[in-house]
Structure 1
Amino acid sequence: MDVLPNEILLLIFSHLGVEDIVTRAQHVCKRWRLLCARSGMWKDLVYVPGKRVSEKEVYEVIRQAPKLRRVCLDRSMDTDTFIDNVRRFCQDIRELRVTPISWCGLSSRHIRALVTRYPDIETLGVSLGEESPRESLQLIGSLGNLRSLELFGFNSEDWVGEWRVLADGCPSLERLDFSCYGLKVTPEDLAYFLSRKKDLLRYLRVTCPRLDTETVKLLGQCITLEELRVVHMPQDTPVDLRPLVGLPRLKSLGLRY
């Protein structure tokens, strides 16, 4: 292995998982450690902690991976400790997804800590656990480089109007998904959002209990839209959906009743 050029070693390393790099490869020798420390090595690596791995082992991986840029947590762990460890040891997180395992979501304190630590984050998937998410959404809206946002939440019937702070922020947002775990958006809020993001959106998935003519008209003006999913749409929707047919880049359309 000593005779292999760096380019070949990096190609081999690119097929390893985060755990293999952190706990094995970078400890073999000084040369390998320096190669593993290159930022390019971590560009596309995603750390997804295994469900059978102890929390102690998860935190040890995070501690030894300061270049880690992408993390997806979809197992039960103490959220406070997990986020604190990521913030403490990972220098430049660009993708963070914390899938809700319980009914608890992230508070505005968590969101503020993440936004402050990683202002250039590009992909974010979090659960909002508060009755009113305004402060959290305002913080998320301040992220200038955010391109993809996936929101989980519960009991959102009282969140009318709260979504508009996202429409007024997130200038780079291309992908939006708030169709999971009961998040519902009114046609008025959706129309407001589309009126400001129709020239940027490439992917939209939303739970909307009803569609009106204005909302469908605005959807038909989203000329960059490639995928559209509307969930829980009433079967007796009287609105003419033909404006959606003319979307020039649309590759996938799903209307779930």
Structure 2
Amino acid sequence: MDPPPPQPPGQCRNWLELPRDVTESILLRLGAIEILTSAQKVCLLWRNICKDPSMWRAVDMRNPGDLCDMPYDLETMCRHAVDRSFGQLVDINVEHFGTDELLNYIADCSSRLRRLRLVSCDSISEEGLSEAAAKLPLLEELNISFCYPWTKEPLEVVGRCCPLLKSLKWNSNCYRRPYIECDEEALAIAENMPKLRQLQLFKNKLTNVGLLAILDGCPHLESLDLRRCLNVVLTGSLGRRCAEQIKHLRFPNDPMDDYELDAEFHENGSSDEDYPSGFSDIDYFSDDYGYYEFSGDSDYSYYGDIIDYGDFYYD
């Protein structure tokens, strides 16, 4: 096949002449926020493509977390993205703004969901995650990172309700004191998630006892990330077993160059008596994020099933 003739000097390619599948591929590389705030407003063709349910099988709501400076409501946008999928949603990334209500809305509308990422979602509770997990029997990948300290209960519920779970990230970003040990979460994983193949436990308090239980209870485990799990000592027979059983093993003191979230420890000088709940070694960041709510007809308007955000996002 001959290559297309060169464009005359000064003449630009008309993007509207691209094949539809090429345009779809380009738009899919944008996140949901970019599509709803800008791409769908470029032209009628792009708007029609952005309405196609196949464009919303994966919804990436990645954002920097500066919610108080955002001139739009991410939860409203996320619900609209879920609606556009018409039940085809299989992968969603919700960061910083997730709530119990939103998580259960996603679960109600997306029983086929296979991948769920929740990062820094302090408004999601143990009960909210447990309720949603009961509606997601096909879930295969779950990332819970930097949320409020939880007990073992949601892990047990996820294990029972999501029998196909193969990948779990259960990461902490807390003020850590030395010598605090707790294997409850590790035991919950070992007892309820036998099909796990990938496990990341960043800054977890498990000990060698919990690690051994995971190796016994998750025989298919291939990848294990124990970075900053300083109560684990991979020497002797346990170290040899990890080397034999795990193909991809990250040690507690391995470098964090490829870790996308905050990898630093933060010391906490408060006394144990200040934390009667049992999380005496943890004092999470508690930024008071403000949410800008849509209000008034000037903010956005509905045209059938299309939201026209106008120039609201360009402020």
Give the alignment's TM-score, normalised by structure 2. 0.58
Q: Which has the higher Rg, Structure 1 or Structure 2? A: 2
Q: Alignment partner for residue 49 of structure 1, among 42, 49, 63?
A: 63
Structure 1 position 21 matched with structure 2 position 41: no
Q: Alignment partner for residue 193 of structure 1, among 214, 228, 249?
A: 214
- Unaligned runs of at least 5 residues, structure 1: 233-257
Q: Is the 8 A contact 2:59 2:81 kept in 1?
A: no
The equivalences for 1:110-189 within 5 A come to 110-126=128-144, 127=147, 129-130=149-150, 133-142=151-160, 143-153=162-172, 157=180, 159-180=182-203, 183-189=204-210
Q: Alignment partner for residue 78 of structure 2, among 54, 62, 67?
A: 62
Cα RMSD of the aligned pairs, angstroms, is 3.4
Structure 1 position 94 matched with structure 2 position 94: no
Q: How many residues align?
A: 222
- Aligned amino acid, residue 93 of structure 2: V
| Aligned position for 1:5 | 19
Deviation at 1:141, TM superposition (A): 1.6
Deviation at 1:89, TM superposition (A): 5.8
In 2 relative to 1, CA 202–192 (structure 1 residues): closer, same or farther, beyond 3 Å?
A: same
- Aligned amino acid, residue 148 of structure 1: S
In 2 relative to 1, CA 14–100 (structure 1 residues): closer, same or farther, beyond 3 Å?
A: closer
In 2 relative to 1, CA 36–145 (structure 1 residues): closer, same or farther, beyond 3 Å?
A: farther
- Aligned amino acid, residue 24 of structure 2: L
Query: d(CA) in 1 for partners of 2:216 and 2:45?
Result: 54
Query: d(CA) in 2 for partners of 1:105 and 1:178?
Result: 21
> SS of 1:51's equivalent?
coil
Query: d(CA) in 1 for partners of 2:100 and 2:223?
Result: 33
Per-residue CA deviation, residues 92-129 of structure 1 (Å, 9 max, x unaligned), is 5433333337xx68533122122023232232222362
| Aligned position for 1:247 | none
Q: Is the 8 A contact 1:141 1:170 kept in 2?
A: yes
Structure 1 position 33 matched with structure 2 position 45: no
Q: Is the 8 A contact 2:61 2:94 kept in 1?
A: yes
Per-residue CA deviation, residues 197-229 of structure 1 (Å, 9 max, x unaligned), is 244322322514242534223202215x22422
- Unaligned runs of at least 5 residues, structure 2: 1-14, 255-315
- Aligned amino acid, residue 28 of structure 2: S
Deviation at 1:59, TM superposition (A): 1.8
In 2 relative to 1, CA 15–179 (structure 1 residues): closer, same or farther, beyond 3 Å?
A: closer
Percentage identity across paired residues of the two chains: 18
Deviation at 1:85, TM superposition (A): 5.2
